[in-house]
Structure 1
Amino acid sequence: MEALRVWRASSNLLGFAASRAAAAAAASAGRAHRFHIRCCSPAAAATTKPPQDRRRRSASSSSTSDRDSIRAIRLKKVEELRGKGYEPYAYKWDRTHTTKELQERYTHLENGEVCTEASVSIAGRIVARRAFGKLVFMTIRDDSGTIQLYCEKDSLTEEQFEQLKAFIDVGDILGASGSIKKTEKGELSVYVSFFEILTKSLLPLPDKYHGLTDVDKRYRQRYIDMIANPEVADVFRTRAKVLNTVVHRNIFSLGKQR
């Protein structure tokens, strides 16, 4: 009888323990299920982190909008220039030197020295521009290198200086003439007495510091790649010279055979 009582008690304990274990397992599964739903719900994911393609579309549309607004502003400048009697797409410009020739010929000048007897004329694309009241500094690049343009209000007419400040942008192609000056900081410059807009750029150049790094864009828009990365133009120029030499040799050898 005593043994029967002990067996019943142990059975009750085992049943109670089993029911508690089952309840705990069910509660744990419920918590895991709720946690799974809370973290992986599409609505929650959408509110915490936007999809990658949506972010890309947003950035692309913003960039396109900025470019359109810049283009509209520059087109307005073109119209204003023509209204004042200036053609922003000139037919010609007489260049006397390249930037590399000037850098080599006048490297001997002392800091702050002006070579007034020199009369030079260059042309190239503006790749940098800084304005300080009555002074405007611009860096111009041609097919050989770069040089600074030193534009002072006293050396230009009032109309030209206002045109310089209001209508000249980075990316424009400019013709400039004047004397040679080396600034107090040792920067060889063309001391501009006259300039003319040769080509008005309607869109900005790639970012100065980051440049053009998109490989697909570099291949599809090679002209931008050659502007932003001058070394690319050097590669093409070298290949063209090699190809030209090979063609001339082949023509010469064919002539001799005949």
Structure 2
Amino acid sequence: TPRNSKITNASTCSDTRLMEALRVWRASFNLLGFAASRAAAASAGRAHRFHIRCCSPAAAATTKPPQDRRRRSASSSSTSDRDSIRAIRLKKVEELRGKGYEPYAYKWDRTHTTKELQERYTHLENGEVCTEASVSIAGRIVARRAFGKLVFMTIRDDSGTIQLYCEKDSLTEEQFEQLKAFIDVGDILGASGSIKKTEKGELSVYVSFFEILTKSLLPLPDKYHGLTDVDKRYRQRYIDMIANPEVADVFRTRAKVVSEIRKTMESFGFIEVETPVLQGEAGGAEARPFITHHNSLQRDLYLRIATELHLKRMLVGGLEKVYEIGRIFRNEGISTRHNPEFTTIEMYEAYSDYESMMNLAEEIVTRCAMATTGKLKIDYQGTEISLERPWRRETMHRLVEEATGVDFNSFGDVESAKNAAKGLLGFKTESSENTSLQACSSVGHVLNEVFETVVESTLVQPTFVLDYPVEISPLAKPHRRYAGLTERFELFVCGREIGNAFSELTDPIDQV
């Protein structure tokens, strides 16, 4: 029997005071430099609004600026500021080239990363200079402070940050003037010199030579406020990583997880395959596909909504253990838990069932935890999660009965189950939840509705939920001992489903 798994937020009565308030508002809006995207976000109901109440309705009607005018004012001001900065920096690029310097270098040979320097020279005493050290680093300037004959800059690379200590006496006069006149926060710089720890204990590169590697034309996000626009953070990840360096750790951790998954699957004899992303027919799941057109074939094709069907064909062809880590595309809603484009791992193994797949799921997750954190007890948003095996395994019926005191096996018809669920969930007649409940066509659907509403969020520690009703488990094999159930499980951690697996239905008549 093949098995399958998917490990898948003063009022004023004076016109004069009113106008003064509006002037202050406009000034503060320009000072904040709201971007055009913020103005666009306001149209979706997330605008920051400034309300003024006036005892004279007529005065208010004639002096209060329309909402769209305020948006245009903030947007144009921000765009104007960025255009001005870009124009200034473009002029610097021209001047550098006029002096014979190329502001977009081809290469820079570096000897260390910032992290390596921080670790290697942490023993230096305050004020000590390691003159015998000759180092070369490169990175983006994220802070800059000039004091007469001394300039301090903070440079950041992939591994961390370090200070550049730039003294006039250690540089040529031309380089020091270039440092003061042409380098801005956001530029990528290469610097070489010795190592020094300042009197205040800041490890620094004592710069004797530097070169502009990439001249930035636009400023970085504000140093103190950072990048806080959630929409912009998700749409422009590269800016998010510059403004919030810790975000890059998520990408590093993810890379380790994917690598460890591959190592684990290979150790169990699985073969990784790639199946078509463009398909003639969308199948393997219940979802709305993205549609594209193939010009040469003169036909519409679909971005896959699952890797399932093609992986099953690999088993038909004779491979016994296959898996794919692949992108899935579903043309549906967007939320913090659902994205139209996401990655899954889906695997199939012949001559096995869902019991052994639970063991494999435990193995994959625990190995990934050890590879990324070095331990099996981890903190997630303030909650300790224990990944030590074995994990809890419990049926859906039993979990619902524990939470509600109701045994849904006792209901012989769907209406009795719905009435019991209404009493448990306390739905109002006109609520959307009640509408969803009324749409349930079987006791199994009602059971699942209660489970998702009452139980799911409580499954914080790793829990395998077993033996789902047959009505909500297409293509899962009927349970070998209990009628009306299937040999299917879902894995929950922190109240979220992270995996779904079952003994695969192999009876072609039953599949039809």
TM-score, normalised relative to structure 2: 0.39
Could you tell me how far 1:56 is from its partner in structure 2? 2.4
Classify 1:123/1:46 alpha carbon distance in 2 versus 1 (closer, same or farther; 3 Å): farther
2:57 & 2:138 partners in 1: Cα distance? 59
Q: 1:72 is matched with which residue?
A: 87
Corresponding residue SS for 1:40: coil
Classify 1:82/1:6 alpha carbon distance in 2 versus 1 (closer, same or farther; 3 Å): closer
Classify 1:249/1:125 alpha carbon distance in 2 versus 1 (closer, same or farther; 3 Å): farther
Structure 2: tracts of 5 or more residues without a match: 1-18, 259-497, 504-510
1:102 & 1:127 partners in 2: Cα distance? 18
CA contact (8 A) 1:226 1:233 kept: yes
Greater mean deviation of Cα atoms: 202-211 or 44-53: 44-53
Structure 1: tracts of 5 or more residues without a match: none
Q: 1:221 is matched with which residue?
A: 236
Q: 1:161 is matched with which residue?
A: 176
Corresponding residue SS for 2:51: helix
Corresponding residue SS for 1:184: coil
State how many pairs are aligned. Answer: 248
Classify 1:41/1:102 alpha carbon distance in 2 versus 1 (closer, same or farther; 3 Å): same
Could you tell me how far 1:216 is from its partner in structure 2? 1.2
CA contact (8 A) 1:174 1:196 kept: yes
Classify 1:32/1:119 alpha carbon distance in 2 versus 1 (closer, same or farther; 3 Å): closer
1:9-32 CA-partner distances (Å, limit 9, x unpaired): 999999999999xxx999999999
Classify 1:65/1:183 alpha carbon distance in 2 versus 1 (closer, same or farther; 3 Å): same
Tell which structure's C-alpha radius of gyration is larger.
Answer: 1
1:107 & 1:165 partners in 2: Cα distance? 29
Could you tell me how far 1:239 is from its partner in structure 2? 1.0
CA contact (8 A) 2:136 2:190 kept: yes
CA contact (8 A) 2:128 2:197 kept: yes
Classify 1:29/1:120 alpha carbon distance in 2 versus 1 (closer, same or farther; 3 Å): closer
TM-score, normalised relative to structure 1: 0.77
Classify 1:198/1:11 alpha carbon distance in 2 versus 1 (closer, same or farther; 3 Å): closer
Task: Report 1 or 2 for greater relative contact order, CA contacts < 8 Å, sequence distance ≥ 6.
Answer: 1
Classify 1:202/1:33 alpha carbon distance in 2 versus 1 (closer, same or farther; 3 Å): closer
CA contact (8 A) 2:140 2:189 kept: yes
Q: Which of residues 239, 245, 250 in structure 1 aligns to 2:500?
A: 250
1:15 & 1:126 partners in 2: Cα distance? 22
2:256 & 2:231 partners in 1: Cα distance? 27
1:90 & 1:249 partners in 2: Cα distance? 47
Q: 2:474 is matched with which residue?
A: none
1:88 matched to 2:103? The reply is: yes
1:50-88 CA-partner distances (Å, limit 9, x unpaired): 233322221111010000000000000001101111000
Classify 1:168/1:42 alpha carbon distance in 2 versus 1 (closer, same or farther; 3 Å): same
Greater mean deviation of Cα atoms: 211-220 or 162-171: 211-220
1:194-252 CA-partner distances (Å, limit 9, x unpaired): 00001000000000000001111112211111111111111112212322xxxx99999
1:180 & 1:48 partners in 2: Cα distance? 61
2:247 & 2:104 partners in 1: Cα distance? 26
Q: 2:27 is matched with which residue?
A: 9
Please state which structure has a larger fraction of its residues in helix: 1
Classify 1:123/1:44 alpha carbon distance in 2 versus 1 (closer, same or farther; 3 Å): same
Classify 1:43/1:12 alpha carbon distance in 2 versus 1 (closer, same or farther; 3 Å): closer
2:215 & 2:23 partners in 1: Cα distance? 106
Classify 1:251/1:230 alpha carbon distance in 2 versus 1 (closer, same or farther; 3 Å): farther
CA contact (8 A) 1:38 1:44 kept: no
1:127-155 CA-partner distances (Å, limit 9, x unpaired): 00000000000000001110000000000
1:153 & 1:91 partners in 2: Cα distance? 27
What is the identity percentage for the equivalent residue pairs of Structure 1 and Structure 2? 98
Classify 1:16/1:85 alpha carbon distance in 2 versus 1 (closer, same or farther; 3 Å): closer
Q: How much is the aligned-residue C-alpha RMSD, in angstroms? A: 20.5
1:63 & 1:210 partners in 2: Cα distance? 16
Classify 1:43/1:101 alpha carbon distance in 2 versus 1 (closer, same or farther; 3 Å): same
CA contact (8 A) 2:154 2:163 kept: yes
Classify 1:107/1:40 alpha carbon distance in 2 versus 1 (closer, same or farther; 3 Å): same
Q: Which of residues 180, 183, 188 in structure 1 aligns to 2:203?
A: 188
Classify 1:148/1:252 alpha carbon distance in 2 versus 1 (closer, same or farther; 3 Å): farther
